[in-house]
Amino acid sequence: MKRDCPTIQELLAFDAVVRYQSVTQAAQALCLTASAVSKQLAGLEAFVGQPLLQKQGRGLLPTRAGREYWQKITGSLRTIETATFELRSGGAGSGMLTLASVPTFLTKWLVPRLMSFRRQHPHITLSFREHLGPYDSIAPGVDAAVRYGEGNWPGMVSEYIAGHEFVLVAAPGLLEATPLQWPAQLVKHTLLHHEEAVQAWRLWAAQHGAGELPLLSGPRFAQYSSLIQAACSGLGVGLVPRLLVEDELASDTLRIPCGETIKIDQGHYLCYREERLEQPAFMAFRSWILSAERSIPGS
């Protein structure tokens, strides 16, 4: 009987190569040889009658047709994976969730709390993907995303997790070399900026009566992890969500030299499409993460 769709092996090989942009890495993820993955790709391209991948440098990227095809099939592949996982693990209360998260929040806040989630829901497996850019939509196969911003992404439900509270931070060595005991002394320091928190310094200065600060000057960073490291290295003074520097403050790697905590209409949000509320595993994760702000890491 003539088949009307590719084999699952061909689709899995194609999906892995698109995600890793490498036959070698895709083969490792699938526990196959590189030649076996290449054979599956050749079979898929022969079946659909056109190239789906193209070389770029040392990697492989999908063609335009390949990208469109992958976007249509990857959600179904994740659904098959999740259904199979639930069946093998007993079904009720189990599942696999694929999440995207801004990296600093993931490593500094979410990961230290995941043991609590695992103890409460041992049959739910979490898989993390590359975080979304400011204007990206949730990709097929991703159940939800933790994003940083004002919580107004079109077409998605956005629920606040944490991160409205901002504090001024600086390295002890920097403070010893150039004192910073009151806001006006910031004129002698380099200000570190986050690209998506453009109003943070302006709001801090207004609240602390420091309107003469050079608010537009200083290095800019796309990730809070880089900004925090810059502050730890003494490059300048940072204004960051407090939840991301609790460890540095506890170890005296960073200090709050002056000023009060301010609240900014930006933070970390759980973003998802409304239909995910019908998924029991996602509902369990949603309930947990929206209450995890009050939990102690590792508890």
DSSP line for 66-129: HHHHHHHHHHHHHHHHHHHHHHHTTSTT-EEEEEEE-HHHIIIIIGGGHHHHHHH-TTEEEEEE
Q: Are 273 and 249 contained in the same domain? A: no
Query: Does residue 83 sit within a domain?
Result: no
Query: Does residue 140 sit within a domain?
Result: yes
User: Which of 97, 96, 74, 75 is CA-nearest to residue 86?
Assistant: 96
φ/ψ bin of 255: left (φ > 0), alpha (ψ from -120 to 50), beta (otherwise):
beta
Token representation of residue 22: 């490498």
Q: Are 128 and 200 contained in the same domain? A: no
Q: Quote the pLDDT of residue 293.
A: 64
Q: Are 277 and 150 contained in the same domain? A: yes
Residue 250 CA, chain-centre distance (Å), reads 25
Q: Are 100 and 56 contained in the same domain? A: no
> Which domain, by its residues, includes 153?
90-161+267-294
Half-sphere exposure of 221 (CA within 13 A, CB side): 20
Q: Quote the pLDDT of residue 94.
A: 53
Q: Are 252 and 169 contained in the same domain? A: yes
Total of domains in the chain: 3
- Torsions phi, psi of 237, nearest 5? -105, 130
Q: Quote the pLDDT of residue 49.
A: 92
Q: Quote the pLDDT of residue 296.
A: 47
Q: Quote the pLDDT of residue 257.
A: 94
Four-point Cα dihedral 135, 139, 145, 149, nearest 10: 0
**How confident is the chain (299 residues) per 10-residue block, as mean pLDDT?**
81 90 88 91 92 88 92 80 64 71 92 91 85 73 88 90 95 94 91 91 90 83 94 96 95 94 92 87 92 57
Q: Quote the pLDDT of residue 129.
A: 79
160 pairs with which residues across the strands?
Answer: 269
Q: Are 150 and 287 contained in the same domain? A: yes
Query: Does residue 84 sit within a domain?
Result: no
Q: Are 101 and 242 contained in the same domain? A: no
Q: Quote the pLDDT of residue 298.
A: 42
Q: Are 149 and 282 contained in the same domain? A: yes
Q: Are 177 and 252 contained in the same domain? A: yes
> Residue 102's domain is classified under what CATH number?
3.40.190.10
Q: Quote the pLDDT of residue 1.
A: 56
Please, are residues 40 and 13 in contact by the beta-carbon 8 Å criterion? yes
User: Which of 293, 284, 283 is CA-nearest to residue 122?
Assistant: 284
> Residue 33's domain is classified under what CATH number?
1.10.10.10
Q: Quote the pLDDT of residue 279.
A: 83
Query: Does residue 85 sit within a domain?
Result: no
Instruction: State how far the Cα of 171 lies from the Cα of 193, in Å rounded to an integer.
Output: 16
Q: Are 225 and 211 contained in the same domain? A: yes
Q: Quote the pLDDT of residue 250.
A: 95
